[in-house]
Structure 1
Amino acid sequence: MTNNKKAELISETTLRYAGYRFSEGIKQIISNPRKQMGVLVILALALLCHVLTKHIFTGNPIEGPLNVGVQLLNASITLIGLLCYVLYHGTPKVAYRTHNNLSRIGFCNAAGEVPLLLREYPYRGRATFRQVDCLEFLACGIDKSIWENKKTAIEAALNVHLAKVEEIEGKQGIRLYTVPADQGLADKIIWQDTMLNTQIPVCKIALGQSLLEQVIVDLNVTPHLLIGGSTGSGKTVLLRLILMQLLQKQNVDVTIADFKGGVDFSAHWKNHPNCQMIFDRATLLTYLNYLVDELNQRKALFASKDDCNNIFDFNVNPLYTLNDTEPLHRIVFAVDEVAEVLDKTGLSKEEKEQVAQIESRIATIARLGRAFGIHLILATQRPDANILSGQIKNNIGYRVCGRADNVLSMIILDNTSAADEIPSDAQGRFIDSNGTVFQGYWFDESSVDWGTI
């Protein structure tokens, strides 16, 4: 790109930015009576100058031409003053500092244009104890993915944590949700019983706290979850937190496959009336066959009803549950280490065939289970792309990963963000498939009153 072309593009962007500032300044003045007083002061001064000028030149032989010239000058100064006043109020106070800080890290487009700050305002979307500010930029053609890839550098330049990046005004603008550098995520957030949502047929699960808000998953919307993370990342703690909440809800049955013998699950889980544990492949295959049969039965049941497309529709309509003792139960099948269930390494021919059948049943549930209230929650720490087939993984809509290497992060999230953004010593820190980093709630089994679950 030639220097002349760069200068042309920079001139065009400068003109656009001035237009944005003027428009924003008008909005600010219209919405703020105190700023309107400034306009009145400028107009009052202009009127005073007009009166004084007329008084001074009254009776002067050259009154006509000179008076006209002075009045034109007065009008010009007034217009310039009003323009500067509007532009001042349309420019965020931190605009120039932000521009300089982004320039320092070389954050610019091919023409050398640095994104220009349009607006800065506090985030009012949801209750949070943190100070959250929104920064809206004229993106200058810099794509959202580039902002996300440069997240660490932008955070350092602006001395903030970036909670979220989103496009505005089509793709012309970018909005950053920022939190002061000293108000980041805590290393440990204790689960409180007040966080539990027991509403039915809603099935919402609280996972943890992001910089902006509580991270919640609704099984009516995202029926299946995949959790990844290396040893000690907090993966199993998060899995237990999810299952504990499900067991406190009405009409939810939980089954856990754990081929490690259930060492991570105390007797509370094994003795719970709505929770069963499976420790071998034969029992697991029998159970999965039952789930597929149940899925087909529910499919036929819903097809026989009017306007009933899923378990939510069925349970929320009193006509369908009028003669039943209770609504249909949601069925949750969880695996603490999916590699232990699906890995065929070192198995006999018969065992491999058994694993293939298990994998086929899980794939069927992943593909069809959402509508019929049958859910998968799979966890793994093995960085092996051959463990989870595409048919299973591609039908799991919500994925989270704790600290991990590039390989495991790619398997879970299809990118390396877990390796890039989760500190190597972090416990309970996760990033989800939407790019949201959160601290999972710490769940201590001894603090739970299992008699009430």
Structure 2
Amino acid sequence: SAASDRLRHSFVMQNVTAREIRSGVVELRMTGYDVLKRVQMPALTGAGVMRVPVAMREDGEVFYRDYRQSPHALNVGATQSGKSVYQRNLVAGLATQDVALVGIDCKQGVELAPLARRFTALADNPDTAAELLDALVEHMADVYQLIRREQRLSADVPDAEITADIWDLPDHLRPTPIVLVVDEVAELALFASKDEEKRRDRIITALVRLAQLGRAAGIYLEICGQRFGSELGKGITMLRAQLTGRTAHRVNDETSANMAFGDVSPDAVLATIQIRTDRPGTAVAGDSSGGWVRIRTPHLTLRRAVNIANAQAHRTPEIPALDAFRPVLPSLVKVPATAADTAPALA
């Protein structure tokens, strides 16, 4: 890895990445052109259960957000860095799977409300968010009670069939997995009065509980924000420590990059602060193991994302514990076709 930049110059390549295959075997992958200049996702991306293709890696492979491998993740980035488009691609990819989407968007819902037909629950202000998170914690406790009842610990049950999470439960008993998307975490952590401070502590405590205990109950967190540091108050660094996946778009200062990768990889911090302003969607993605890679998200317009969410609205599950937070939306109205829409195409 340390020699990869010198190898890039020696072989006149665009990029050289090193990856350890097994003990004593290292793979060098060389790219002759800028893969991230114009992102074109392949038609068949190999998506799976709780595994969503969201971006292209600099070595030409597809980057996946795999919730079974990294249950919780942090996504940071400055304004106009492409953070929202990454989040939009993620929601659009999850919309086609049998999963419950729960959103917290304290910007009055401007980012997630257009996709609300695919959301089981949505909160657009901190007060509602606190109640929603409490309901999620209660739902998590109910799921654990279900797992306890169905662990099948009798002596005649094979070890492989003993369960400690929802994925080993029978299909007819398995609860729907939930992905919680928090659009701007700082809005949940800031306060200006004693009452707001109490609400803030309640919110952060609930998020920490979900991050520590939610994986086995099928609850996964996607925390987004421009900054995510200790200045947001107590409990924030405890929450960050539970977020295995890390994605950092362009940031305005090195401190913000350190918040994402400072405890993971100094090289990733350096790569993050070198992201150019004219390459929106470019990010550095890594995990708690120290490995990282540059990625770029394909541009997905809000209109296309809304169309995907509306087309998959029939997949939106009902979770009784979250019924009070289900978005109430008018019925879709079919727009009549115009003459231009029905005219034959010219050769």
In the alignment, what sits opposite 2:148?
303
Select the residue among 186, 192, 197 that pairs with 2:36: 186
* Identity across the alignment (%): 20
In the alignment, what sits opposite 2:298?
441
Higher relative contact order structure (alpha carbons within 8 Å, sequence separation ≥ 6): 2
**How far does residue 432 in structure 1 lie from its aligned partner after superposition?**
0.9
| Equivalent residues of 2:92, 2:309 under 8 A apart | no
In structure 2, distance between residues paired with 1:166 and 1:186? 20
SS of aligned partner of 1:372: coil
**How far does residue 385 in structure 1 lie from its aligned partner after superposition?**
3.8
In structure 2, distance between residues paired with 1:273 and 1:219? 19
**How far does residue 241 in structure 1 lie from its aligned partner after superposition?**
1.1
| Equivalent residues of 1:166, 1:174 under 8 A apart | yes
In the alignment, what sits opposite 1:425?
278
In structure 1, distance between residues paired with 2:127 and 2:284? 35
**How far does residue 300 in structure 1 lie from its aligned partner after superposition?**
1.7
In structure 1, distance between residues paired with 2:92 and 2:280? 20
In structure 1, distance between residues paired with 2:145 and 2:243? 24
Q: Please give the per-residue CA displacement for 1:199-252, whole angstroms capped at 9, x wherever unaligned.
A: 5xx2111121112411112212211111111111100110111112222212x2
**How far does residue 452 in structure 1 lie from its aligned partner after superposition?**
2.1
Letter in 1 for 2:195: E
TM-score calculated relative to the size of structure 1: 0.58
In the alignment, what sits opposite 2:337?
none
**How far does residue 157 in structure 1 lie from its aligned partner after superposition?**
3.6
In the alignment, what sits opposite 2:134?
289
In the alignment, what sits opposite 1:206?
53
Select the residue among 236, 241, 247 that pairs with 2:95: 247
In structure 1, distance between residues paired with 2:54 and 2:248? 12
Q: Please give the per-residue CA displacement for 1:255-293, whole angstroms capped at 9, x wherever unaligned.
A: 2111111223453x23x1534321222211111111111
**How far does residue 164 in structure 1 lie from its aligned partner after superposition?**
2.5
SS of aligned partner of 1:333: strand
Select the residue among 160, 170, 182 that pairs with 2:13: 160
Structure 2 residue 125 is matched with structure 1 residue 280? yes
TM-score calculated relative to the size of structure 2: 0.75
In structure 2, distance between residues paired with 1:385 and 1:188? 36
Moved more, 361-370 or 387-396: 387-396
In the alignment, what sits opposite 1:339?
186
SS of aligned partner of 2:14: strand
| Equivalent residues of 1:196, 1:245 under 8 A apart | no
Letter in 1 for 2:276: P
In the alignment, what sits opposite 2:311?
452
SS of aligned partner of 2:121: strand
In the alignment, what sits opposite 1:386?
231
In structure 1, distance between residues paired with 2:86 and 2:123? 20
| Equivalent residues of 1:229, 1:401 under 8 A apart | yes
Aligned residues: 287
SS of aligned partner of 1:159: coil
**How far does residue 450 in structure 1 lie from its aligned partner after superposition?**
4.0
In structure 2, distance between residues paired with 1:193 and 1:233? 26
SS of aligned partner of 2:292: coil
| Equivalent residues of 1:402, 1:418 under 8 A apart | no
In structure 1, distance between residues paired with 2:67 and 2:16? 24
| Equivalent residues of 1:278, 1:284 under 8 A apart | yes
**How far does residue 384 in structure 1 lie from its aligned partner after superposition?**
4.1
SS of aligned partner of 2:74: strand
Letter in 1 for 2:311: T
The 1:425/1:449 distance shift into structure 2, 3 A limit, reads closer
SS of aligned partner of 1:297: helix
In structure 2, distance between residues paired with 1:304 and 1:367? 22
Letter in 2 for 1:441: P
The 1:169/1:205 distance shift into structure 2, 3 A limit, reads closer
SS of aligned partner of 2:298: strand
The 1:299/1:361 distance shift into structure 2, 3 A limit, reads same
**How far does residue 352 in structure 1 lie from its aligned partner after superposition?**
0.5
Letter in 2 for 1:186: L
In structure 2, distance between residues paired with 1:175 and 1:310? 35
**How far does residue 170 in structure 1 lie from its aligned partner after superposition?**
4.1
**How far does residue 367 in structure 1 lie from its aligned partner after superposition?**
0.8
Gaps of 5+ in 1: 1-143
Question: Which structure has the highest helix share of the two?
Answer: 1
**How far does residue 296 in structure 1 lie from its aligned partner after superposition?**
1.3
**How far does residue 193 in structure 1 lie from its aligned partner after superposition?**
7.3
Gaps of 5+ in 2: 153-161, 313-347
In structure 2, distance between residues paired with 1:420 and 1:273? 35
Structure with the greater alpha carbon radius of gyration: 1
**How far does residue 253 in structure 1 lie from its aligned partner after superposition?**
1.5
The 1:301/1:168 distance shift into structure 2, 3 A limit, reads closer
| Equivalent residues of 1:260, 1:279 under 8 A apart | yes
Letter in 1 for 2:86: L
The 1:168/1:205 distance shift into structure 2, 3 A limit, reads closer
Q: Please give the per-residue CA displacement for 1:36-78, whole angstroms capped at 9, x wherever unaligned.
A: xxxxxxxxxxxxxxxxxxxxxxxxxxxxxxxxxxxxxxxxxxx
| Equivalent residues of 1:227, 1:235 under 8 A apart | yes
Coordinate RMSD, CA, aligned: 2.4
Q: Please give the per-residue CA displacement for 1:325-358, whole angstroms capped at 9, x wherever unaligned.
A: xx411112111111111123xx111111110110
In structure 2, distance between residues paired with 1:370 and 1:383? 22
